[in-house]
Structure 1
Amino acid sequence: MVGTSTELFDFIAAELERFVETEGDDFHLPEGRHRELGFTFSFPVGEDVVAELSSAMERQGLDMKVTALVNDTVGTLAGGIYADNDVVAAVILGTGTNAAYVEHVDAIPKWKGPLPRSGNMVINMEWGNFKSDKLPRSDYDIALDFESLNPGEQMYEKMISGMYLGEVVRRILLRLAHDASLFGDVVPSKLEKLFVLRTPDMSAMHHDTSHDLKHLGAKLKDILGVADTSMEARYITLHVCDKVAERGARLAAAGIYGILKKLGRDRAPSGGCPKQRTVVAIDGGLYEHYKKFSSRVEATLAELLGEAAASSVVVKMANDGSGIGAALLAASHSQYNVVE
């Protein structure tokens, strides 16, 4: 998180070397072949990440070549389709958010290159940067965006992803502390600090089922330094967490529904047509660990689809889908080269 790119890629190369050492003496590469590596990397670092990793592997003395570079969404899509042929889209709901889906090339007017033999192409949507006057942005969203490192960008992401949900809650609680003395006569100084309330903390408070919300109160004490919170303050905090999570989940579900609608998978089959199974693979810590968030994503998607169409749509958790997908793409490339 704080090191240089050289330190990062040297660390990855060292871990790869440790992995290779576990293969033992029985593994031998065919003459003239390299070990082929699938690499999933999601964030820009201002450098060619394949070149950086390749240089680090050379410094480590590794005879290995990167043959597939994908972001986490495309990797999750590849891994998802390998496990289930009915997967049509992959969605990341974690610290950030993105989506990818399979589209027929006839629907891609910008494509000018040679057509893939399958007739299909993966679309990496980068949907976190979606912006529209239809998005229901509040004063809290506008202020968060203005004070962020990338104002005017990633508007959709700032409303639904794990990086920002806790910060939206913090801003609402700060307003209530100032205007309604939510935590007493003095506004907790820690509540003024940007991103002091993380989404995992928000999730922990939201999932408190104790009759007096004692776990939520303990979290507020740990995070904000408020020793004693009233029952009213705890229930208001719980309500804020609930509403922010619900909004984010419903917006995320709307994005998934948009993909299914684009693909014509948003309606029940007409009379006589066979039922078509549709699977969406989802990866990311927000979806995996924030159960009230993920359950509302699924409930909202079912609501948007309607009962008949929803019965043929499946949402599946794809644990480490991006890493598995990148490995599968590298393996596919290796096999393709052998055939060629």
Structure 2
Amino acid sequence: MGRVQWLSVAVGCAAAVVTCAVAAALVARRASARYRWNRAVEVVRGFEKGCATPTERLQRVVNSLAVEMFAGLASEDASKVRMLLTCVDELPDGSEEGIYYAIDLGGTSFRVMKLELGSGSMVINKKVEYRPIAEELTKGSSEDLFDLIASALKNFIEREGGKDEGRALGFTFSFPVRQASISSGSLIRWTKEFSIEEAVGKDVAQCLNEALVRNGLNLQVTALVNNAVGTLAMGHYYDEDTVAAVIIGAGTNASYIERSAAITKCRGLLTNSDLTVVNVEWGSFRPPQIPLTPYDICFNVEKKRNHYDQAFEKMISGVYLGEIARLVLQGMAQESDVFGSSVNFLSTPFIFSTPCLSAIREDDSPDLRVVGRVLEEQLKIQDVPLKTRRLVVRICDIATRRAARLAAAGIVAILQKIGRDGTLCGTTNVRKIRGEPKRSVVAIEGGLYQGYSVFREYLNEAVDEILGDEIASTMYMQWWIDIKWIKKWIVRYF
């Protein structure tokens, strides 16, 4: 073999070696990418497994909550749910007339309202304004917070050209309060990221009354209620078969009409009426059948709080669902490179809001363009591949589905407590319907339920699963849309 031939063979061998090396590198890179992708998928699978809510498990949650409700009515501090007495023993029936003012405080904003009622469940005129609450006011002083509210009410009345003298003022205060009368109540604790410690133990109605005086208003609080109680009153105003109310928004809670004879604690607060409205305060319920995932526990640890503090609320409500999804996304980013290197924003607590989560879950475009836009604009993550976008949608769906199904279990627990769930005291023995079925209406309010159709569908589906077809057919969930509120929910992202 000549020199030229040997050189040709050598070059060919070298090329083969290089080709093999390149091929091996590509194979190794693909294997590495597949491994990292599988790690991301495993994070999501683990989250999905931890959030599983089969019907049998939900039924056990129903039974557990009903037991806690019984205990909470028996004595103070005997239950994980407070079962607060509201001093409300009579609900609107449609005969009310006149002009009323109201304030609703319970989340990242508050509402002031003027309402004119005519007889026959007729709302002649309603005017509502929304005001945001700066974060520093949720952690500042009670005087500053209530001055903001009183000032907003004063400006609202002046713009409406109304007069405040002699008008009734309702105050919806959506935090746990221990009431001694219909127009007063001391704050037990803050929830939903409020932390004005010096206000704990104070009469919140009196705090507002003092702020009204400071702002030159001739109004006093005539009724102090939780938003769940207010929703129950609204439901009963429109439909006398309303037996309970549920809030599913920034936070979550419920109220219902209870027989006075079933309440053995604090009998001195009860009136001569046979019925009393109870504020369940179910946000503090910790369902033993539902494990907390690492993503539920994590943000409690960061804030140095008890893992079990407001557990039910933190698995359901709008303040937390987006945060749970963010923590899962962060876990994916730590286990893989599916989001590339631009993941700094994923480490910022509460940067991923629940409206973002709902926008992602409800994106039905073929290329999931809304998902890409949310990730880019909210989390600064660009050029996310389609298969990764699908994984993000799945995360949002898992968090949504668990939340909605747990809320459904809570609703059925109330029905069980008042004997409207079709069972015999929560046992497996089914009560047969005889004669005309009795309607059970549950009034539901809150932006998460009203503004997020997938959540609503999952909740309704779970209620039907737990109750069964025969009982579910007598059950009605009624909700009223305030268009401005829903627009506010949507516009927070779009």
8 Å Cα contact 2:246-2:253 kept in structure 1: yes
Partners of 2:164 and 2:217 within 8 A in 1:
no
> Are 1:14 and 2:142 matched, yes or no?
no
TM-superposition CA deviations, 1:245-278 (whole Å, max 9, x none): 0111111101111111111111287354321011
Change (3 A) 1:99 1:192: same
**Residue in structure 1 matching 2:170, options 25, 38, 42:** 38
> What's the TM-score once normalised by structure 2's chain length?
0.60
Cα deviation code 1:16-62 (max 9, x no counterpart): 3345446769x796xxxx33211112244414322222122222332
Q: Give the 3 Å change call, closer, same or farther, for CA 38–299 of structure 1 in structure 2.
A: same
Q: Greater shift after overlay, 35-44 or 200-209?
A: 35-44
Secondary structure, in 3 states, of the residue corresponding to 1:95? Answer: coil
2: distance between equivalents of 1:272 and 1:294?
30
- 1:233 is paired with a residue whose SS is helix
- Rounded Cα–Cα distance in structure 1 between residues aligned with 2:431 and 2:474: 10
1:323 aligned partner: none
Select 1:301's aligned residue among 451, 463, 470: 463
The answer to whether the Cα contact below 8 Å between 1:181 and 1:187 also exists between their aligned partners in 2 is no
Q: CA deviation at 1:181?
A: 2.4
Tell me what 1:131 maps to.
286
Alignment of 1:131-170 (within 5 A): 131-148=286-303, 150-151=305-306, 152-170=308-326
Indicate the SS of the match to 1:173. helix
Query: What is the CA–CA distance in structure 1 between the aligned matches of 2:220 and 2:333, rounded to whole Å?
Result: 55
Unmatched runs of 5 consecutive residues or more in structure 1: 321-340
1:5 aligns with 2:160: no
- Please state how far the C-alpha of 1:149 moved relative to its aligned partner: 6.1
Distance 1:248 1:38, change over 3 A: same
| Higher RCO (CA-CA < 8 Å; seq separation 6+) | 1
1:244 pairs, out of 399, 403, 409, with 399
Residue type at the aligned position of 2:208: L
CA distances 1:189-244 after superposition (whole Å, capped 9, x unpaired): 11111111111101111111110101101111112212211111100001111111
User: Aligned partners of 2:211 and 2:399: how far apart in 1?
Assistant: 43
Aligned pairs (5 A) from 1:17-166: 17-21=154-158, 34-43=166-175, 44=190, 45=196, 46=199, 47-113=202-268, 115-148=270-303, 150-151=305-306, 152-166=308-322
Instruction: State the 1:183 CA deviation.
Output: 1.3
SS in 1 for 2:318: coil
Percent of pairs identical after alignment? Answer: 43
| Farther off after superposition, 39-48 or 200-209 | 39-48
Q: Tell me, in whole angstroms, the C-alpha distance in 2 between the residues paired with 1:275 and 1:259.
A: 18
Aligned residues: 314
CA–CA distance in structure 2, aligned partners of residues 255 and 234 of structure 1: 32
- Residue matched to 2:490: none
Letter in 2 for 1:281: A
Secondary structure in 2 matching 1:113:
helix
Stretches of structure 2 lacking an aligned partner (at least 5 in a row): 1-133, 176-189, 191-195, 423-429, 483-494
Letter in 1 for 2:150: A
**Match of residue 372 from structure 2:** 217
For the aligned residue pairs, the C-alpha RMSD in angstroms reads 2.2
Q: TM-score, normalised by structure 1?
A: 0.85
- Contact 1:140/1:171, CA 8 A, preserved across alignment: yes
1:337 corresponding residue in structure 2: none
Q: Shift in Å at residue 98 of structure 1?
A: 0.6
Match of 1:334 in 2: none
Aligned to 2:333: 177
State the AA in 2 paired with 1:252.
A
Which letter maps to 2:440? T
